[in-house]
Amino acid sequence: MPEVEFEVGHTLAGERLDRALALVAAIERSVVVTAIAQGRVLVNGLPESKKARRLVAGDRVAASWDAPGAPPPPPVAPTIRWEDEDLVIVAKPAGLLTHRTHPRDERPSVADWARARFPELEQLAGDQLRRGIVHRLDLGTSGLVVLARSAVARERLEAMVAHHEMERRYLALVRGAAPSRARIDAPLGRDLRDPTRMSVVLAGKPAVTLLERCWAGPDTSLVELTLQTGRTHQIRVHLAAIGHGIVGDARYGVTLPELDRPFLHAWRLSLMHPRTGKYIEVQDPLPRELAALAERARSSPILRGA
């Protein structure tokens, strides 16, 4: 049963009890609220029932709470493509979350798998649902994801992502004959009519995707994409905006009965090692079902009636 005890200093003076305890103990506020309701949070030796109580310098806070239950194992575990004492690069299967965004979400994730596989991740401060994850892939996207195993590696890897120093390349099967090369420079933001969707909007955040066609079949093309920014749903929205939506993408592209996910795969990742500075390049081949569909699409039409 985890426990914490601390004296409130000037930094936390005036802060709400629930916020201060969540910060000091590095736990979710929902865990704190539950502990308060159960009478397991003491201020100056007495149970405190008000989560919004403002603390003053000199207050002594003691708390205990139930450790969260072990998350269910993922239906298909990630595959390790690179591992050393500083970082891990894994191949995420489609249908597995990179990390959960809410503690009530009980779906398994790469982050859950990583915490069980690498216990040292529990020592990393910050969001318990992410831990060593420094970037993410959509639920339906497969491919390479980087995890940091130390605080120093995480800081440096997050800086690489923020400054676009980590090159990520994707393969996608798209509708129609895509251009041989293209630079898609279109700002992205929430769709004004549907805030659950992203869209090209003039007031959106800058977004740039580089496209290179691998081949063109009768009614589809296989393209390689390189992100120069990392906006939500960037590749999917950019391709839809130029008329070449991703096959299997029910939200932005074109559906295909035999494919229950977007044909989008993060196949290559390259970066400078956060500690040694050595260049690393890792590749992950197309999953078997995508490779088979691509082989068929290269010589035969697959979108008739779609």
In angstroms, what CA-CA distances link 251 with 1, 240, 247?
43, 10, 11
Q: Which two tokens stand for residue 174?
A: 């798209």
DSSP string, 145-194: EEEESSHHHHHHHHHHHHTT-SEEEEEEEEES---SEEEEE--EEE-SS-
C-alpha atoms less than 13 angstroms from C-alpha of 88 in its C-beta half-sphere: 21
Point out the residues that are catalytic: 138
Task: In whole angstroms, give the CA distance from residue 300 to residue 217.
Answer: 7
Q: Which two tokens stand for residue 74?
A: 């993922």
Q: Which residue has the tokens 């597995």?
A: 96
Closest CA to 70 of 38, 30, 106, 44: 106
Q: Which two tokens stand for residue 283?
A: 């590749």
Strand partners, 83: 88
Q: Is 39 left (phi over 0), alpha (psi -120 to 50) or beta?
A: left
Instruction: Say which DSSP state 89 is in.
Output: E
Q: Which two tokens stand for residue 147?
A: 């995890």
